[in-house]
Structure 1
């Protein structure tokens, strides 16, 4: 469960962190991202930098991000993740396998194994590790992220695009669209 939770949290936090305040795709280090929800969504990203780019899997990436959360977020937090890979046939949706790919999560808050005590890394970065998540600005500056092998070699290379939509009690919290290259 911890491995799956860790994978889900890393993917969702990374994708949530790539939201923007305009509908236009923004480019940062070759990564394209945008907020695909209405301006009233309480989760917004104001800055993102991922280096080196394109992303290398497996590999170590350096992440810098600033996310603003306009209101307290509590359980349940549903996440719908769609990820597509470009192939000679066009964009093909990656199915959900072992909680990686195009998946739906009923409540990200319920998946957290950290209800009692946050790990040191969360404390050091002053990031929440469980719900509720308080309103505020959360930032990470040049934090190394070790991205483990996630599947067969062909899946770890190529152009990807996707969308993550977070909702709570049928109210949208954030919607992030992205496009990235993996090598």
Structure 2
């Protein structure tokens, strides 16, 4: 019986490493951009490789831009989140215009459902481990959307 429990615990730990999640981190009154779906392929990410991020986003009102985008990337180190600094455009960086960062975006960004595909190079210099990221979208200093992604794994 103990061996069955042990196998279940190990299987649960392995399964947890295979999943990632996303949620909104903005209040309902400020949401103009909302992430409904996220696909990371492949996941877990391997290095070196090119990883595709597919974001299914709803846009409440036409956005004429620019949409400032702030990424806060954290790596789990001994069960504690440590902020990864922005180095050469990778890490906890701020981009003055989302459409410069995401090449599948252009202005005016129409209201409705949008699909953004973003490739990302994962180089050998990216440390293995589990990551989380918060992405904040602002226009003229006003928060128009925020999303948190957790349990993103690099092997």
Answer yes or no: same fold by TM over 0.5: yes
Q: Does 1:167 align with 2:147?
A: no
Would the alpha carbon gap of residues 172 and 59 (structure 1) be closer, same or farther in structure 2, given more than 3 Å must change? same
Q: Does 1:67 align with 2:38?
A: no
Would the alpha carbon gap of residues 39 and 32 (structure 1) be closer, same or farther in structure 2, given more than 3 Å must change? same
Larger radius of gyration: 2
CA shift, 1:65, in A, is 4.3
The residue aligned with 2:95 is 105
The residue aligned with 1:132 is 108
CA shift, 1:165, in A, is 0.3
Q: Distance in 2 between matches of 1:71 and 1:92?
A: 35
Q: Does 1:148 align with 2:148?
A: no
TM-score by length of 2: 0.72
Give the 5 Å matches for 1:1-183. Answer: 30-40=19-29, 41-61=31-51, 64-88=54-78, 90-109=80-99, 111=100, 122=104, 129-139=105-115, 147-150=120-123, 152=125, 155-179=126-150, 180-183=152-155
Count of aligned pairs: 136
TM-score by length of 1: 0.62
Give 1 or 2: higher strand fraction.
2
Two-structure CA RMSD over aligned residues (Å): 2.8
Structure 1: unaligned runs, 5 residues or longer: 1-26, 115-121, 123-128
Q: Distance in 1 between matches of 2:68 and 2:86?
A: 15
